[in-house]
């Protein structure tokens, strides 16, 4: 199956969150912003995650397809960990796992991780995104707490050392659809280098849907710094040749000690 960065063609797909767990939501106007409420069923905990989108505010306020992939994988891991591509990673952490999501946007991935894993999760994004991120975290507080998880919200600017240092103890880093803007490749890699330092046991899981040829530059740079594995590929949506791919990034030093190899 085509995994994305190796394919030379451009996939201009710009898809909102679509998936088998999606439940019809409502559109309404909140203040001066038009809001869209999306409900997403998490079968493993028999609960529904509610997400507010603000499409007019930009891409960080929308739900995108790669988030679906991580949400579904987390849900399925909770139901059947023995047959999950996440098992190798998640089984290596003590409970409760400490998770940071980068570029959280609406926060659906981090919220789902807190609910399905019972983890301590910090969802992060730029300061202007944090208000809506906090709204969604608060809206799902009961679901998260009932599952034994905790959700925190913090601003985090990629490439800023101080923003990373205040995060505290971290085991797992998550992100979806964060490789799209070329001028952000180096700041994102700097943040990852700060978090996945040499000898670190931390792991970064990233869901990505390729849209542009230039995205291969990010992966070329990343593979010089980290060991990068493909752990899951979705089948392409209708009309697209490429599906969402989930990558696992780890420190080269830690990977070699544990007998893992890069792709």
- pLDDT, tens digit, 9 for 90 and up, residues 204-231: 999 999 988 889 999 999 999 999 999 9
3-state secondary structure of 14: coil
Structure tokens at 231: 């752990």
If one compares 239 and 48, the residue with the highest pLDDT of the two is 48
Q: How far is CA 54 from CA 17, 62, 64, 129, 182, in A?
A: 14, 6, 13, 10, 24
- Percent of the chain residues past pLDDT 90, beyond the cut: 71
Nearest-angstrom CA–CA distance, 231 and 115: 22
* Sign of torsion over alpha carbons 77, 243, 18, 106: positive
How confident is the model over 188-196, as a mean pLDDT? 96
Structure tokens at 115: 């609910």
In this prediction, residue 254 carries a pLDDT of 52
In 3D space, the residue among 108, 28, 104 whose CA is nearest the CA of residue 68 turns out to be 108
pLDDT one-digit tens code per residue, 118-170: 999 999 999 999 999 999 999 999 999 999 999 999 999 999 999 999 998 99
pLDDT one-digit tens code per residue, 50-109: 999 999 898 899 999 999 999 999 999 999 999 999 999 999 999 999 999 999 999 999
In this prediction, residue 22 carries a pLDDT of 54
Nearest-angstrom CA–CA distance, 40 and 128: 25
In this prediction, residue 33 carries a pLDDT of 58
In the predicted structure, residue 256 carries a pLDDT above the cut 50? no
**Region of poorest pLDDT, from 16-20, 54-58, 178-182:** 16-20
pTM: 0.85
3-state helix, strand, coil in the chain (%, to 5): 35, 25, 40
Q: pLDDT band at 34, cuts 50/70/90?
A: confident
In this prediction, residue 175 carries a pLDDT of 98
Contact 168, 202 (CB under 8 A): no
Concatenating the DSSP letter of every residue in 161-222 gives HHHHHTT---SEEEEES----GGGHHHHHHHHHHHS-TT---EEEEEE----TTHHHHHHHH
If one compares 259 and 184, the residue with the highest pLDDT of the two is 184
If one compares 84 and 198, the residue with the highest pLDDT of the two is 84
Alpha-carbon Rg for the chain, nearest whole angstrom, is 17
If one compares 31 and 61, the residue with the highest pLDDT of the two is 61
Architecture of domain 65-257: 3-Layer(aba) Sandwich (3.40)
Nearest-angstrom CA–CA distance, 220 and 253: 18
Where do the structural domains in the chain lie, given as residue ranges? 65-257
Nearest-angstrom CA–CA distance, 114 and 104: 13
């Amino acid at each position: 199956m085509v995994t994305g960065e190796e394919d030379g063609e451009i996939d201009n797909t710009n898809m909102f969150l679509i998936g088998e767990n999606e439940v019809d939501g409502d559109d309404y106007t909140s203040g001066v912003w038009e809001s869209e409420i999306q409900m997403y069923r998490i079968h493993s905990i028999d609960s529904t995650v509610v997400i507010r989108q603000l499409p007019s505010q930009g891409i960080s306020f929308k739900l995108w397809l790669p988030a679906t992939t991580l949400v579904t994988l987390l849900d399925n891991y909770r139901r059947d960990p023995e047959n999950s591509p996440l098992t190798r990673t998640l089984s290596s952490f003590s409970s409760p796992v400490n998770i940071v999501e980068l570029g959280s946007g609406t926060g659906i991935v981090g919220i789902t991780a807190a609910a399905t894993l019972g983890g301590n999760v910090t969802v992060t994004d730029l300061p202007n995104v944090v208000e809506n991120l906090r709204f969604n975290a608060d809206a799902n507080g009961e679901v998260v707490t009932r599952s034994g998880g905790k959700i925190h919200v913090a601003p985090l600017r990629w490439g800023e050392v101080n923003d990373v240092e205040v995060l505290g103890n971290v085991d797992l880093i998550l992100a979806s659809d964060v490789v799209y803007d070329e001028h952000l490749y180096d700041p994102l890699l700097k943040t990852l280098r700060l978090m996945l330092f040499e000898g670190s046991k931390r792991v970064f899981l990233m869901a990505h849907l390729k849209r542009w040829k230039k995205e291969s530059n990010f992966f070329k740079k990343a593979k010089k710094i980290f060991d990068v594995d493909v752990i899951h590929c979705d089948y392409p949506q209708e009309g697209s040749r490429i599906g969402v791919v989930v990558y696992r990034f780890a420190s080269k030093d830690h990977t070699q000690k544990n007998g893992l190899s890069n792709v």
